[in-house]
Chains A and B, each alone.
With several copies, the nearest count.
Chain A
Amino acid sequence: MNALLEVSRISKRFGPTIALDNVSMTAQAGRVLALIGENGAGKSTLLKTLSGAHRPDHGTMSIDGQSYRPAGPIDARSRGVAIVYQELTLAPDLSIEDNIMLGRSGTVAGTLLRSRQRQRVQKAMDQVGLSSISPKARTGDQSVATQQLIEVARALVSDAKIILFDEPTSSLPAADVDRLFQIVDTLRSRGLAIIYISHFLEEVRRIADDYAVLRDGHSVGAGQLSQISDDQIISLMVGRDVDDLFPAVPHEIGSARLDIDRLTAAPVPHNVSLSLRRGEIFGVAGLVGAGRTELLRCLFAMQPTRSGTVRLDGRPLPQRINARRRAGLGLLSEDRKTEGLAQNLSITENLSMGNHQRYSTLGCLNLNARSEDAKRWIEKVEIKAQHPNQCVAELSGGNQQKVALARLLAQDAEIYLLDEPTKGIDVGTKAEIYRIMGQLAAQGKTVVFVSSYLPELLAVCDRVGVMSRGRMTEVRVTKDWNEEELMLAALAATEDE
């Protein structure tokens, strides 16, 4: 085996935070290396160092035995390193095609050769399953999942030797995940080295050959996946044993609370009727574009509905966000970067946004109470941050998600609408989130849990509904489902048209 990429004793610090501390790692040609670690362990930072977005403070890197010190992203690319970032890095105003070719000159004297580049673009888009979308469409108009696939396509058009994937599946539905894995397989067989970050261990097992674990910026273990068990990986990651990945909190299902009657909006959802009960965790599965996100947004009045009614405890809800919020609904947005969080504000500020009534009298704030409260939440959901006034943009992806979640919990709602709440969250914290959901249900609250990760739906929910093409096609009690049936149900309606 030949080490294509060698990283040795790399360190990187951001002010007082040491993101990487003497990290070493090797990646081999024709193999997939899974990079594993808790939120904030330094995974993204390591990949960004490789892709030339960050410069390491110390340490050396080499490709094919030759020293590798990328001066910037172009330099890295010219050395054959391509990357799919964790957070979307697309220019919303450009067409898909232009985004894919951004920074890559397929040109004569600065003039774009659109027809020539279109073949390459089309090929990459076909590979990731975007053949049905026009390459000329505006990128900002696409769904999050499509944008994620565009990012992958962007990495594919380059003739890279090493491709870095930073949680590419966190916003992809199952079918696209499969396609992505096929792509990875092909790349591997072509002899590329691939580094892949994921918080899903079974995904890692399916796709990767080797692993490397980071904890708090240190490398704590590496080797071949076949020689290590899941439990061992988890204890490497977390530094302790996690006894239960899907902790169950006993809760009792009560009477109906939220009645949705033939809810329809343009273009999705379509005629969705549901009755959600007190103390219930209701899971929603489906493919991309199935309308799960739209359903939640309609429930929260963020999007106009065409017809149908939503009642809470028998009372119809007014069509205004803050009215619904006051009535007891709370939404965790799928898109934490552009909608979920104010990136340039502090954690405290984000946590208190909209929750001011907890520490204010007659509109005046008690700043002490506010920062105490923020500290409590930071501890409670284990947000890894230097201090409560740190800017949210500086947090790792998973920790940002925790801030968004904590704000929703602080809101103390009755009905929790969670859109992909565990997206980008590490195993240990996921377990914590499931526990919180269980506790909420035990308190008699209702949780709607949208997820593309079927195992968690099956483990946590009381009932699971499947959406397809905007319709809620099937709802069953969880024990009547299994993964294959869920997949089939999600695909079924798609195929009969």
Chain B
Amino acid sequence: MSDRPTPNHRARWSVLLRHGPSLALLFIIALFALLDWQFGSGRFFSSRNAGVIVNSAALVAVPALGMTMIIIAGGIDLSAGTALTLCGTVMAIAFRDYTIPADQAGAATWIALALALGLGVGILCGLINGLIISLSEMVPFIVTLGTMTIFLGVGQVLAEESTVYPQNTHLPDWLRYLCYTGSNTDYYWFSFLPIPSSALIAIVLGIAVALLMHFTVFGRNIVAIGSNPLTARLCGIRVGLTTTWVYALAGVFVGLGALLYFANVKNGNPSDGTGKELEIIAAVVLGGGSLSGGRGSILGTIVGALIIKTISSGCTMLSIPNTYTHIIIGVIIIIAVLIDGLRNGKPKWLFARLASG
């Protein structure tokens, strides 16, 4: 895993790393648009479908932003999926039991409290992960594997083992239409710009995280820790503390992701989250994140989420049966990363052969 490109290719990395996944995305869009135009319903390349895709991508991208930070810091978070649905469940319970209909006076306070509660649970989950990892110095994989099932269990206890349905009237309109992708422009934040609110949120958060990573000491410290924890320690970075913060901050994104999840399905089911963690991690890795730490890109992660969802939407539009969809998704993931690698001189033996031939 620690193979690096040969030195003479490295110089190019920094520039291309950011564009690699984007090119893969463009390629995939072009491919599906063409196929759909030829053989499908021709609706793939429509603004409505774009809305549907970016909305589902946002649901993955928001928690993936936190995951990107964790992965850059050399960690991993398998609990992201169940932590997300735990937060969603808590929000659902709060809305079911402690809010009043959204059109009554004073409802805003309760709503704010309910959302804050969900977010708080997300931060708490992250904090627990971070504290255990930094205090016990155990590998993040096993810690978060443990907390993954713990969060699932806690969610199920809270939800009394079933799905929590809040009263529909208790949800404010902005929340109900956070993931709206239909044609009624009133439901969008900017009626002249029919982009799902969830996608706008993801974009804003993405910019914030990118700024954080590039322009703050905290951001640089994260890269340093993931790149070489020993060095970081010798340079006086408080590795444990920073790690804890990274996980806690990732918890914020889990909480926000839960908000979108809740707005999307409008109920909370704690076991919905199992398996989501792999999708989230996949978005990060497709976007150029390295599981050995130190490398990862925010733009890349968002593009990674888009790639995953574009493929799945494209297959539906082409009416490809589910089974084949699985195969196609797998093949495209591999090809996308392969192409990204090629452009970075990745199968070295190939480039060596080309160079000498």
Contact = CB atoms under 8 A, between A and B. Distances in A.
Query: Are A and B direct contacts in the complex by CB distance below 8 Å?
Result: yes
Interface of A: 14-17, 51, 53, 55, 72-74, 77, 85, 89-94, 98-99, 102-105, 107, 110-112, 114, 137-138, 140-141, 143, 265-267, 302-307, 319, 321-322, 325-326, 331, 333, 338-346, 349-350, 352-357, 360, 363-365, 367, 386-387, 389-391, 393-394, 407
Contacts of B216: 107, 110-112, 360, 363-365
B224 A91 contact: yes
Given A15-B11, A365-B217, A306 B356 contact: yes
B237 interface: yes
Contacts of B14: 138, 346, 389
A306 B4 CA distance: 21
Contacts of A93: 223, 226-227, 294-295
B232 interface: yes
A399 B294 CA distance: 22
Contacts of B7: 14, 141, 143, 391, 393-394
Interface in B214-247: 214-218, 220-221, 223-224, 226-228, 230-238
B165 interface: no
A91 B223 contact: yes
Contacts of B224: 91, 94, 98-99, 102, 342, 345, 349, 353-354
B355 interface: yes
29 contacts: A15-B9, A91-B223, A91-B232, A93-B294, A102-B220, A102-B221, A102-B231, A110-B218, A112-B216, A112-B220, A138-B13, A141-B11, A143-B7, A267-B8, A303-B352, A304-B353, A306-B356, A319-B356, A338-B228, A341-B228, A342-B228, A349-B223, A353-B220, A353-B231, A354-B236, A355-B235, A360-B217, A393-B7, A393-B10
A447 B10 CA distance: 31
B217 A91 contact: no
Interface residues of B, number: 37
A353 B232 contact: yes
The 6 A-B residue pairs whose C-beta atoms are closest, nearest first, are: A354-B235, A74-B236, A304-B352, A103-B235, A93-B294, A91-B227
Nearest to B238: A322
Given A91-B224, A342-B227, A394 B217 contact: no
B162 interface: no
Given A91-B223, A103-B232, A354-B237, 20 more contacts: A15-B11, A17-B8, A74-B236, A89-B234, A94-B220, A98-B224, A103-B221, A104-B235, A111-B217, A138-B10, A138-B13, A140-B4, A143-B7, A303-B6, A306-B356, A344-B295, A360-B216, A365-B220, A386-B11, A407-B235
B27 interface: no
B100 to A, nearest CB: 39
B246 to A, nearest CB: 14
Contact of B217 (A92, A107, A340): A107
Contacts of B355: 265-266, 304-306
A304 B215 contact: no
Given A91-B232, A305-B356, A389-B14, A363 B218 contact: yes
Contact of A339 (B214, B227, B230): B230
A254 B231 CA distance: 33
A331 B356 contact: no
Secondary structure at the B interface, as helix, strand, loop or mixed, is helix
B351 interface: yes
Nearest to B355: A304
Contacts of B10: 138, 140-141, 390-391, 393-394
Interface of B: 4, 6-11, 13-14, 214-218, 220-221, 223-224, 226-228, 230-238, 294-295, 351-353, 355-356
Contact of A390 (B11, B217, B230): B11
Given A14-B8, A102-B224, A352-B220, A339 B231 contact: yes
A353 B235 contact: yes
Contacts of B230: 89, 338-339
A114 B219 CA distance: 13
- Which residue of A77, A98, A102, A346 has the most chain B CB atoms within 10 A of its CB atom? A102
A224 to B, nearest CB: 32
B11 A103 contact: no
Contacts of A110: 216-218
A221 to B, nearest CB: 28
A233 to B, nearest CB: 30
A64 B138 CA distance: 41
Nearest to B224: A91
A266 B12 CA distance: 15
Given A138-B14, A304-B356, A344 B294 contact: yes
A105 B227 contact: no
B220 A342 contact: no
A214 to B, nearest CB: 20
Contacts of A85: 234
B217 A94 contact: no
A96 B14 CA distance: 13
Given A110-B218, A353-B232, A386-B11, A92 B294 contact: yes
Contacts of B13: 138, 141
B351 A103 contact: no
Nearest to A331: B234
Nearest to B228: A342
- Which residue of B14, B228, B232, B295 has the most chain A CB atoms within 10 A of its CB atom? B228
Contacts of A341: 228, 231
A92 B74 CA distance: 13
